[in-house]
A = this chain, B = another copy of it.
Amino acid sequence: MERIKRNERMAALTKLLTASPNRIFTLSYFCEMFGAAKSTLSEDIDLLRGVFDAFGLGRLDTVTGAAGGVRYRPVMKSQDARAFLSELCGELCTPSRLLPGGFLYLGDILSMPEIVRKMGVIIAGEFYDAAPDFVLTMETKGIPAALMAAQALGVPLVIARRSSKVYEGSAVNINYVSGSSAHIETMSLSRRAVREGQRALIVDDFLKAGGTARGMIDLMGEFNVEVVGTAFVMAKAHPASKLIQGERALMVMDLEGDDPSTLAIRPADWV
């Protein structure tokens, strides 16, 4: 291959780094790929850091030490995250989206790749320091946002099922009380899905009373896995006393009784 120019290296570096978020690449890896010296690559990375920062495209960190190198994290600027969520709240705040039981129809936005990707990035940004080994969600609607959070964190997704009759070999089942329906439900996870001593981040679509989330925390207890955080696309403001604590929700929904005229949705304060 002929000699590669800086602008070509920078474009290729951008693609490679952003396609594998939170993964540490050694400079040697890139030196070999481009046939360039370490000092040259170092300058490329410094320039890239500035570009990403100027255009709000995420963060490039240099990690020192034996396993050191360069790592991309798709962190959104707070103002960009708030603008994105504000627009989404406006779109969702429609009484026709209200469903029986005080739920909100989110099916369409939860399967728009571009929207769930941003949700995943905002959630991941809050939990890089907690260093989860995997993201856990409960089927079905939270899967896209959870997958995108897992991608941004550079970790696998683990999906708990509603039933163990799913051809996945031996499984751990727990019963839990669904906070919204007050029914006893079952949650199931394949034995080989996670390992003892790992750290889990729970991501789901909707938080009402917290029964399902509580169930996921208990399920992780059965596997001796530590839950380092819980994140949701939407949380209802009421009941204020939930079965879990310290949750992070992207949006908060207010609804008095079942009165559609009281529907209000706002971005969470922590974003």
| CB nearest neighbor in B for A118 | B19
Contact of A12 among B19, B51, B139, B167 (CB under 8 A): B51
Contact of A11 among B1, B51, B113 (CB under 8 A): B51
Contact of A167 among B100, B112, B116 (CB under 8 A): B100
Q: How many residues of A contact B (CB 8 A)?
A: 59
Protomer copies = 2
Question: A73 to chain B: closest CB distance in Å?
Answer: 13
Contact string against B for A residues 166-189, beta-carbon threshold 8 Å, 1 for contact and 0 otherwise = 111100000000000000000000
Contact across chains for B47 and A168 when beta carbons are under 8 A apart:
no
CB within 8 Å of B: which of A3-25?
6-8, 10-16, 18-20
Question: A125 to chain B: closest CB distance in Å?
Answer: 16
Contact of A147 among B18, B47, B105, B111 (CB under 8 A): B111
Seed contacts A6-B7, A116-B147, A140-B143; 15 additional CB < 8 Å A-B pairs: A7-B7, A8-B51, A10-B11, A14-B15, A99-B167, A99-B169, A103-B167, A105-B168, A108-B156, A112-B157, A113-B148, A113-B154, A113-B157, A140-B159, A140-B161
The 17 listed contacts between A and B (C-beta, < 8 Å) are: A8-B10, A10-B10, A10-B11, A11-B11, A11-B14, A11-B47, A11-B52, A12-B57, A14-B14, A15-B58, A18-B18, A20-B114, A105-B190, A112-B157, A116-B147, A141-B159, A147-B147
